[in-house]
Amino acid sequence: MWDQEIRAMASTHAILASTVFVATVAPKVLLRGFSVYGTHLLWMYCMAGAVGVVNVSVFWLLGISPPTKKHTVGYKLSRLVRSCLYLFLSCLFFHTVVVLYGAPLIESAVETFSLAVLLTSLTTLRCLCVLGPNVQAWIRVFSRHGAMSVWDTSLQITTGTTVIGAWLGAFPIPLDWDRPWQVWPVSCSMGSVIGFVSGLVAAPTWIHYHRKQLTYKCK
């Protein structure tokens, strides 16, 4: 059972990682004048969209999401609306945090918001897929004994690495090297994507090597 779950997760993560790769390479082939630095906003939205779509479809196909109690259309609709609302709120939250961290307030608000959208699609969307629109559960997951399945642990790891990647991405901004990737928010968004991919790689590996120690409470 362990092997099966880990294998399922590893393949899901492989699909996600290849999505990240495709979302960078495909527009370069298809669109003229596309480059990661030059048309950074486009790249960010490509990435956010691709990761979001793949995430949702994979988790929907696998049926990871918590089983719903009711099957009425109205209930499903309300869940959908709540999910959208949470996604939007999470964008606003990330935007605020990034501004408080020192991003310009007015000048490049579009760039900042795009970064927030990217971060949302890399972190909050996954939370939503795994745990459903339940903030209490989200908060619970990020505690030492909060993980209840392999997916929760992988969620902990990828979210952590994504946020830390974005945080580390801010480091080179003040340096006077005059490189194109030092422009706001290129380094942060690239940092978060790199963090996300490394989290995707790290999560199955870590779980594989610690599977003896991991014990999950039954729900």
Partner 1 sequence: MKRLVILSLLLWMCAVFYVGIYLFVGGFLLVRLEVNRTSTCEDVLLPAGEQGDFCPAKPRFRRAVLLIIDALRFDFARFDHANTAPRPYENKLPVFEETVSSQPSHSRLYPFRADPPTTTMQRIKGFTTGSLPTFIDVGNNFASSAILEDNLIHQLGQLGKRVVFMGDDTWESLFPKKFYRSLPFPSFNVKDLHTVDNGILQHLYSTVVGDDWDVLVAHFLGVDHCGHRFGPDHPAMADKLTQMDGVIRSVMERLQNDTLLVVMGDHGMTDTGDHGGESQKETDAALFLYSPSPLFSGPPSKSEPQVVPQTDLVPTLALQLGVPIPYSSVGQVLLPLFPPHGQMKGALEGLSQVEALWINVKQVNRFLETYSSMAKDIPPESLSKLQEQFSHVSTEYLTAVKNGLSPSPELVVSLQSYLTSVRETCRATWARFNPLKMAAGLAILLFACVLCFILSELSCLLVRESSLLKAPVVAALSIGFCVAAGQLFARGYVEVAWCLAATAIVSELLVLWRVHRVKASTALGNGAKAPKRAGWLSLHRLVTPALLVLLLRGASLLSDSYVIAEGRVVTFLIFSLGLYVPIHLNWDGLLLPANHDPLKPVGLLPAPALSPSAIRKESCTLLACLGLLVGSLYLSLSFHNCREEQGSCQPSPFLFPLSRLQNSQLKNLHYILSLASIGLWTYLLRRWLRHYGNLNSSGGAVFTARWILPLLSICLGLNWAVGATPEDSFRSMAELLSVAQVALPRTIFSLLGLGMLLLWLDPITVFLKTRASAPARSSNLPPPRYRASTGISTQAELHHLIPQIYQRMRRNLEEDDEPGEGAEADGRPAVEAYGLGTVYSAPQLLFCGLLGMGLLLLHAEGMALSFLLLLLEMGALLHIHASSTTLSSLHGTHYGGFNVPWTPVVLWSLAATQFFHATGHLPTFPSIQWGAAFVGFPGGHTGTILPASLVTLNTFSSHILFAVGCPLLLFWPLVCEVRGNRRVGGEDGEDAVMEMRLRENPQQFSSALLQLSTRYLFIHGTQVFASVCAAAILRRHLMVWKVFAPKLMFEASGFLVTSVFLLIGITLVMRVDVAVGGWFKRLIPEASR
Q: Of residues 33, 67, 110, 143, which one binds partner 1 by CB under 8 A?
A: 143
Q: Of 27 and 199, which has the nearer Cβ to partner 1?
A: 199
Phi, psi at residue 29, to the nearest 5°? -75, -40
Q: Of residues 28, 139, 205, 210, which one binds partner 1 by CB under 8 A?
A: 139
* Site for partner 1 contains 142 (CB under 8 A): yes
To partner 1, the closest distance from the beta carbon of 58 in angstroms equals 28
Per-residue x/- track, 20-49, partner 1 (CB under 8 A): ------------------------------
Phi, psi at residue 66, to the nearest 5°? -60, 140
Distance CA 154, CA 14 (A): 13
Distance CA 197, CA 69 (A): 34
Choices 38-46, 50-58, 166-174, 191-199; region in contact with partner 1 by CB under 8 A = 166-174
Q: Of 12 and 156, which has the nearer Cβ to partner 1?
A: 156
Q: Of residues 32, 69, 71, 144, which one binds partner 1 by CB under 8 A?
A: 144
Exposed, middle or buried: residue 212 (CB in 10 Å: 0-12, 13-18, 19+)?
exposed
Distance CA 99, CA 105 (A): 6
Which of 192, 110, 203, 194 has its CA nearest to residue 150?
A: 203
Residues that bind partner 1 (CB under 8 A): 99-102, 139-140, 142-146, 167, 170, 174-176
